[in-house]
Amino acid sequence: MNRAAKNVEPRILRLEVSGSPGRLDSYIVSRCAGLSRSFVEKLFEQGRVRLNGMLVKPGLRPKRGDAVEVTLPPPPQSSLIPQDLPLDIVYEDSEVLVVNKPAGMVVYPAAGHPDRTLLNAVLHHCPELTSTADSLRPGIVHRLDKDTSGLMVVAKNNHARENLVGQFRARAVQKEYLVLVKGRLSPQEGIIEAPLGRHPSQRQRIAVVRSGREARTRYRVRQYLGDFTLLEVVLETGRTHQIRVHMAAIGFPVVGDSVYGAGSPYLSRQFLHAFRLGFRLPSSGEYREFTVGLPDELERALKAITGNV
């Protein structure tokens, strides 16, 4: 039986606008962890977003103090079935779960991926998640692309979720990636600042656009490997496809990235691995950092690409 099926009523999120929000759709995405831009667009199309009680368009710019009401549809019952799938647990306490996500696994059910996601595996490990406030994507406070591997933190209860969402919103979470790019990147340290938004003509892609959202990527060269550079990359913002688009934009595409980067005969996915994650534990406030090494397929590709077989 699907333990998530008991929650079938729509859920209403209520927000009070603060700061300088910009577009309403972007503001909702930034304030509501787990809601993708495309999902929010559908909510507007379905008349599920109101500002001060009125139906509005996604491009409207709200003012400080305005009241936003978002009505979420109940999740598809088949999407939230706990499934006994392999789960690489790096750390666990009463409030959080830190996992090492493999490449090829989607974080949560979506169109084209109804099950066998990380969330399905987490629900099997933590069945109590089905009773949390977030019935759409319980426990999920951030995500990695399907073909990106590495560390993620999952909230096990409402307190942990609110705490972690606050840390992400304040940019207090340390997220660091190992990235292999084509070319010898110089200088050895730098910051890429370029706003990101939907590609003007290819809506499934992200691009550097003047009207996009602020995006900052900090990098440091770990090692030069022939005509390639292995980087340590820190995200100072967390935009969709940020590393891949920023690296391509400066002429150093991510190896194995068939969308924005440089395809490779040695890789079936991008060389992008979230190897370090740091945050304050919701249970104690203690700052902790977790690290994981490269997965086997990236180690093999690194040796093959650089000729060190």
CA–CA dist 253, 260 (Å, integer): 7
Phi/psi at 104 (nearest 5 deg)?
A: 95, -10
Please check whether residue 209 is in contact with residue 195, taking contact to mean a CB–CB distance below 8 angstroms: yes
Show Cβ contacts of residue 206 under 8 Å, excluding neighbours closer than 6 positions: 196, 197, 198, 199, 239, 240, 241, 242, 245
Instruction: Look at the block and give the residue holding tokens 């999740």.
Output: 75
CA terminus-to-terminus distance, the chain: 49
Pairing of strands 149-155, 272-280: parallel
Residues belonging to the active site: 145
- Residue 125: CB atoms within 10 A of its CB come to 17
